[in-house]
């Protein structure tokens, strides 16, 4: 199934002759999925220059017209969904229902943003002076760089592209190297949807070359980055030198709190999906289970019994519960954490690479559970794999202290039947997202998405606030008094 791709710059797909290429592989089988140009700093300059040239006309295009193009992209993506969902599974390894879900999330968000083309609301505000009218309007920022991770290989690029485009910006996308084919197919759908040349450009290649060049490029006014904390910190510092707006969506260490009155069968389904869905490689994955001592043993027994019947294997098989982790690098990193866990915690389940038969061709790990104490490294650091740290607590107050006692604050959850406790948790949990009686994963595109503490730098994607990242607000004062009026000076006393 291997396919060769060029860079997409100024409306043209091109593979400059003699240029180095790199490949992506299927983490379940080791088969090659695609071959891509290893972009250079010069490619980045050509792409941002094309985006800068396309900007004035795109900015002038009425937002509802931009929305029509997005709707056409969404329509084409719906038709392509079975094939594109399968590609997500083949290039990234998540099970097929989640591969299709990745594409559905893209469609949902593109449609949602298309509607934004008929809103893009500003405000009208009273003036302190007579015969004067005040309002705000939203304006695009210019050329936007979007840098994306591999775990949602269509959804995250679309979250950024659709919001940037509807607000009138032009875009250069640098996707995660590991999922370049998914990104290229997404860009192709935008091309086919009727986007003018230069409005969306794709430069594949490494973070250290293409990513750095984009962040430092003088045409780029805003960088929208999703990835790990260390990369994000570096991108933030580099962007700051150019006084760029840098929007960061980073990692998580997301807790589920399980209270003693919880509906245990419901929580069981939720924890299984939250911790081991996408093989734990979601920024919102449930990586800590904080359990009240009264239900601790009984719940762990239920959980491990269910894992005995949880099929790990071919992600294209609809019966499979968990596929491989996404790459050899991922496998190595997660196995290192598992070895660390064996030293500092009690291994309750799994803790190994799966071997034999088809497993030997891919990066398959057994779902893993450690019983640990709050403060161990495995309970504090983002592992980004199918590893769940379970922590025993004696009260709601202790559970919240543990939940909040990490550097991250993306998603959180509590299972309880006590409505008062549920509302207290909404108030108490330091996170951008809180679920009640549901796992830490399951975002919907019409709600804001993002976190507190080291999970980012305060912005939100998705929801109607997604447009804030990509717009400047202009304040407008219209004086129809036909004389010079001075704010703060010509003040009138109310009579």
**x-or-dash string of contact with ligand NAP, 449-468, rule CB under 6 A:** ------x-------------
Distance of CA 307 to the CA centre of its chain: 27
Residue of 69, 176, 202, 391 interacting with ligand NAP (CB under 6 A): 176
State the number of binding residues for ligand NAP (CB under 6 A): 33
Minimum separation from the CB atom of position 238 to ligand NAP (A): 7
Residue of 24, 25, 40, 148 interacting with ligand NAP (CB under 6 A): 148
- Name which of 371 and 382 has its Cβ closer to ligand NAP: 382
Minimum separation from the CB atom of position 431 to ligand NAP (A): 11
Residue of 161, 235, 391, 429 interacting with ligand NAP (CB under 6 A): 235
Which position's Cβ is nearest ligand NAP?
Answer: 207
- Name which of 454 and 471 has its Cβ closer to ligand NAP: 454
Which range in 74-82, 148-156, 190-198, 302-310 contacts ligand NAP by CB under 6 A?
A: 148-156
Helices (H) then strands (E): counts for the chain: 13, 22
Residue 249 bears catalytic tag: yes
Which range in 69-77, 87-95, 144-152, 288-296 contacts ligand NAP by CB under 6 A?
A: 144-152
**x-or-dash string of contact with ligand NAP, 392-431, rule CB under 6 A:** ------------------x---------------------
- The two tokens of residue 304 are 């491990």
Helices (H), 93-138: 96-116
Q: d(Cα 296, Cα 415) in Å, to the nearest integer? A: 13
Q: How many other CB atoms are there within 10 angstroms of residue 401's CB atom?
A: 14
Please give the helix or strand (H or E) that residue 413 lies within, else none: strand 411-415
Buried b (16+ CB within 10 A) or exposed e, 71-89: bbbbebbbebbeebbbbbb
Q: By C-alpha distance, which of 115, 116, 80 is closest to 100? A: 80
DSSP state of 461: B
Q: d(Cα 443, Cα 427) in Å, to the nearest integer? A: 19
- Name which of 249 and 469 has its Cβ closer to ligand NAP: 249
Buried b (16+ CB within 10 A) or exposed e, 101-137: bbbbbbbbbbbbbbebbeebeeeeeeeebeeeebeee
Helices (H), 358-418: 377-380, 396-404
Burial class (CB in 10 A: 0-12, 13-18, 19+), 61: middle
Residue of 7, 283, 433, 441 interacting with ligand NAP (CB under 6 A): 283
**x-or-dash string of contact with ligand NAP, 212-231, rule CB under 6 A:** x--x----------xxx--x
Q: d(Cα 218, Cα 220) in Å, to the nearest integer? A: 6
Which range in 123-131, 172-180, 352-360, 368-376 contacts ligand NAP by CB under 6 A?
A: 172-180
Which range in 170-178, 288-296, 368-376, 463-471 contacts ligand NAP by CB under 6 A?
A: 170-178
**52 near ligand NAP, rule: CB under 6 A:** no
Residue of 177, 320, 411, 416 interacting with ligand NAP (CB under 6 A): 177
- Name which of 198 and 211 has its Cβ closer to ligand NAP: 211
In order, the DSSP letters of 176-224 are -GGGHHHHHHHHHHHHHTTPPTTSEEE--S-IIIIIHHHHH-TTEEEEE
Residue of 55, 384, 396, 415 interacting with ligand NAP (CB under 6 A): 384
Residue of 168, 193, 252, 280 interacting with ligand NAP (CB under 6 A): 252
Q: d(Cα 469, Cα 215) in Å, to the nearest integer? A: 16
| Candidate list 249, 371, 381, 469, residue with the active-site label | 249
Q: Show which residues are catalytic.
A: 249, 283
Residues that bind ligand NAP (CB under 6 A): 147-152, 156, 174-178, 206-208, 211-212, 215, 226-228, 231, 234-235, 249-252, 283, 382, 384, 410, 455
């Amino acid at each position: 199934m291997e396919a060769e791709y060029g860079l997409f710059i100024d409306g043209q797909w091109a593979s400059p002759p003699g240029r180095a290429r790199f490949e992506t592989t299927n983490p379940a089988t080791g088969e090659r999925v695609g071959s891509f140009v290893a972009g250079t700093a010069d490619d980045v300059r050509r792409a941002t220059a094309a985006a800068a040239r396309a900007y004035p006309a795109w900015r002038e295009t009425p937002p509802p017209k931009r929305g029509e193009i997005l709707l056409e992209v969404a329509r084409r993506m719906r038709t392509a969904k079975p094939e594109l969902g399968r590609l997500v599974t083949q290039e990234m390894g998540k099970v097929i229902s989640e591969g299709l879900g990745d594409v559905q999330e893209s469609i949902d968000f593109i449609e949602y943003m298309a509607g934004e083309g008929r809103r893009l609301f500003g405000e009208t505000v009273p003036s302190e002076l007579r015969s004067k009218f005040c309002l705000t309007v939203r304006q695009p920022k210019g050329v936007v760089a979007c840098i994306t991770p591999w775990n949602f290989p269509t959804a995250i690029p679309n979250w950024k592209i659709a919001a940037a485009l509807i607000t009138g910006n032009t875009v250069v996308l640098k996707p995660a190297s590991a999922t370049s084919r998914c990104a290229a197919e997404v860009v192709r759908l935008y091309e086919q949807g009727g986007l003018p040349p230069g409005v969306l450009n794709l430069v594949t290649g490494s973070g250290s070359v293409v990513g750095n060049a984009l962040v430092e490029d003088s045409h780029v006014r805003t960088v929208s980055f999703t990835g790990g904390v260390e990369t994000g910190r570096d991108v933030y510092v580099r962007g700051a030198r150019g006084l760029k707006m840098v929007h960061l969506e980073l990692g998580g260490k997301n807790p589920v709190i399980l209270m003693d009155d919880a509906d245990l069968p419901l929580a069981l389904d939720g924890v299984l999906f939250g911790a081991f869905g996408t093989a734990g490689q979601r920024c919102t994955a449930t990586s800590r289970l904080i359990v009240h001592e009264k239900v601790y043993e009984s719940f762990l027994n239920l959980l491990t019994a269910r894992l005995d019947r949880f099929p790990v294997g071919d992600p294209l098989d609809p019966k499979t519960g968990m596929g491989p982790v996404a790459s050899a690098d991922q496998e190595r990193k997660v196995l290192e954490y598992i070895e660390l866990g064996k030293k500092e915690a009690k291994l309750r389940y799994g803790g190994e690479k799966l071997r034999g038969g088809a497993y030997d061709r891919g990066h398959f790990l057994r779902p893993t559970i450690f019983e640990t104490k709050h403060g161990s490294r495995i309970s504090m650091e983002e592992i980004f794999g199918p590893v769940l740290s379970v922590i025993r607590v004696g009260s709601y107050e202790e559970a919240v202290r543990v939940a909040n006692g990490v550097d991250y604050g993306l998603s959180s959850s509590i299972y309880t039947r006590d409505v008062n406790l549920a509302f207290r948790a909404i108030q108490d949990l330091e996170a951008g997202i809180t679920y009640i009686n549901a796992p830490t994963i399951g975002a919907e595109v019409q709600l804001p998405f993002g976190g507190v503490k080291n999970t980012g730098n305060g912005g939100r994607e998705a929801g109607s606030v997604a447009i804030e990242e990509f717009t400047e607000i202009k304040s407008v004062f219209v004086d129809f008094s036909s004389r010079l009026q001075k704010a703060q000076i010509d003040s009138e006393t109310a009579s």
